[in-house]
A and B are shown apart, each in its own frame.
Chain A
Amino acid sequence: MTNTPAPKTPKIRLKDVHKSFGDKRILQGFSLDVMPQESVVIIGGSGTGKSVMLKCILGLLEPESGEIDIDGVRLSTLSRGEREQVNAKIGMLFQNAALFDSLPVWENVAFGLIQGKKMRRGPAKEIAIEKLAQVGLTADVGALSPAELSGGMRKRVGLARAIAGDPDIIFFDEPTTGLDPIMGHVIDELIVKCVKQVGATAITITHDMASARRIADRMAMLYQGKVIWHGPVTNIDNSGNAYVEQFITGSAEGPIKMELRKL
């Protein structure tokens, strides 16, 4: 397990975060530092708490204990208004894109600019068209409704919305889920390109190992609510961790046991 001390203030720091739903303990002492402009991919099986961890950082869920800092600022001490200011620095690509059905594509992309940053609709639309171009979509797509888009196009629009405000931090929640391998590859390349262009810090959660290898500078493996290994992406195949080895090979045999209900 690689564990080098942080040379400067982490962009995002989670320390001993716990979160439960009723009797079900999801995060059980989750700790992770993400440095500025670093792209960290968190891998782990379904139901291990990856999405819950992201929602805790975004303030959508309240952890029971633990500390979450962004740029050294403790999020639990912020008022709702201050929290919204922090969220304005964050872009998020949801698993199913979470586009607003009632708005055309360009307004989805420009939403944070118009509503969050109070930009006028004209300039916001120009930026939206520019961001759509960055993810390989033409201006005429901007006039379509989200219901008219394919899965891959929805992800691209979601990505354009995530980068529209030139955020400092971008979260990607299973960006390639539900896409064919070629479209998955295209989305991965767009993510890498967009994150570099914006100069953002990125956290991606996925269980698609091919995608993880393409996106990550560093990987962390989440198991039973805590990080059991983290290190550079180049070390993932020589992690020396039986859980990581089983996960990346997708073997049914190993220390990770799938919880199956007895018949």
Chain B
Amino acid sequence: MNPVRALGAGFLKFLAANGRLTVFALNGVSHCVRPPFYPRMILRQLIDIGYYSLPVVALTTLFAGMVLALQSYTGFSRFSAEGAIPSVVALSMTRELSPVLAGLMIAGRIGASMAAELGTMRVTEQVDALETLSTNPIKYLIVPRLLAGVTMLPFLVLIGDILGIFGGYVVSVYKLGFNEQTYLINTWNFIESQDVISGLVKAAVFGFLVALMGCYHGFNSRGGAQGVGAATTNAVVSASILILIANYMITEIFFAQ
């Protein structure tokens, strides 16, 4: 095939895929505010995303905070700037590390699980069965996942913020010999509400992206086990990339001078 033609065909395919995703997202969001709602399904997703993801997010952010304190000390001690460690840990965790790490962990855990579950439902005709039982699959399957993604990730990130700062505190106080009170006062004085809020906004956006990618790829999967496998991979990869892109854009909006 002519290379220009191939490039054009690829570009058109890319636009078509983006169009389908946009229509799917708008459809899902519009159904979020229109009854009927399925409280049991929403509760199930809230528990699945919020409660069952807590250990993985907690461990990730705790150790990220600990490592951050250690690495910062290694660098800052060269300039006798160890006193900046509490603020560096607090700002890094709340603004960047906690939301991004939680988002990526949730993309792996929840995005993959959503794509696999919905993909299996699609290829085993369970989605068709919903339609025949007068139930809109978008309302029953997609809306609870989108709502749970948007609402639960900020809670997880808030807990991640606390645990990350706690991890930095433990390493600084018990390993690097910082004064407990000074560390806590420095952390409290440097951190601002905007730091935490920007992290929570990022978390809500990341939660939406993870749920959207999991639902979109799962709901549209075709071709049996291989199709479900491909949907799962696509959901995780696309959610992870979108999280990193969205992270830059939200940071630009909040903190660009």
Contacts and interface: CB of A to CB of B under 8 A. Distances in A.
- Name A's interface SS: mixed
Residue in B120, B124, B140 whose Cβ sees the most chain A Cβ within 10 Å: B124
A60 B128 contact: yes
Nearest to A158: B129
A92 B129 contact: yes
- Interface residues on chain B, size class: 10 to 19
Contacts of B126: 98-101
A228 B125 CA distance: 29
A58 B132 contact: yes
Contact of A116 (B124, B128, B134): B134
B145 to A, nearest CB: 13
Interface stretch (A12-20, A83-91, A250-258): A83-91
A94 B125 contact: yes
B133 interface: yes
A87 to B, nearest CB: 5
A87 B131 contact: yes
Interface in B118-174: 120-121, 124-126, 128-129, 131-136, 140
Contacts of B129: 92, 94, 98-100
Contacts of A117: 134
Contacts of B134: 84-85, 87-88, 112, 115-117
B133 A58 contact: no
Nearest to A108: B129
A96 interface: yes
A98 B125 contact: yes
A92 B135 CA distance: 14
A68 to B, nearest CB: 15
Interface string B6-49: 00000000000000000000000000000000100000000000
A96 B133 contact: no
A115 B140 contact: yes
B133 A111 contact: yes
Best-buried of B38, B133, B136 by chain A (most CB within 10 Å):
B133
14 contacts: A58-B128, A58-B131, A58-B132, A60-B128, A87-B134, A92-B129, A94-B125, A98-B126, A101-B120, A111-B135, A112-B133, A115-B134, A115-B140, A161-B133
- Pick the 4 closest A-B CB pairs, nearest first: A116-B134, A98-B125, A112-B133, A98-B129
